[in-house]
Structure 1
């Protein structure tokens, strides 16, 4: 399961599963098990902004930290995503 970082951001791993690659780029955030169950899900736009479609167990304060991290690092994160998926950012027609 690919992680976007080897470390936790605001106490959460940021990752995606191979099943995720059929959708546009998004990030799951989980503090324990790296599964979709209970995780937050954020779709990433071409400018690095995010749309939270599932909050999971992530507090609002931690979600803001995660969103800021993604905004600052979305290009590098997209490079990893692109190794596994032909789909682009949220809202792009590909």
Structure 2
């Protein structure tokens, strides 16, 4: 699973899977196992704001840190996601 970065944010890696590219742009946050079990899922809006679909095992403090990080880096994250055949920010689901 591709990671957006090789470092952790608030103790979690941000990543996506090959199946993620059929949905609108989003990121998962997980510990080193990179599994969806216990991971959070953030749908990213065109302005970098996020909608949390699944909080996973994250506490509110870590959730806010990750949301701020995504807001500050969403453009470069989107470019990486798009290199893996991702589509536009939003697709009809």
TM-score, structure 1 as length reference: 0.91
The aligned counterpart of 1:73 is 73
Alpha-carbon RMSD = 1.3
Unaligned runs of 5+ in 2: none
Label 1:86 to 1:3 Cα distance change in 2 as closer, same or farther (>3 A): closer
SS of residue in 2 equivalent to 1:20: helix
Greater shift in the superposed pair: 57-66 or 32-41 = 32-41
Match of 1:67, SS? helix
Residues 50-59 or 34-43, more deviating: 34-43
Q: Deviations over 1:46-68 (max 9, x none)?
A: 00000000000011000000000
Report the CA distance between 1:44 and its aligned residue.
0.3
**Structure 2-normalised TM-score?**
0.92
Paired position in structure 2 for 1:23: 23
Q: Alignment length, in residue pairs? A: 92
Separation in 1, partners of 2:33, 2:4:
15
Distance 1:37 1:58 in 2: 12
SS in 1 for 2:70: helix
Aligned counterparts, 1:15-54, within 5 A: 15-54=15-54
Of the structure 1 ranges 35-44 and 65-74, higher mean CA displacement relative to structure 2 is found in: 35-44
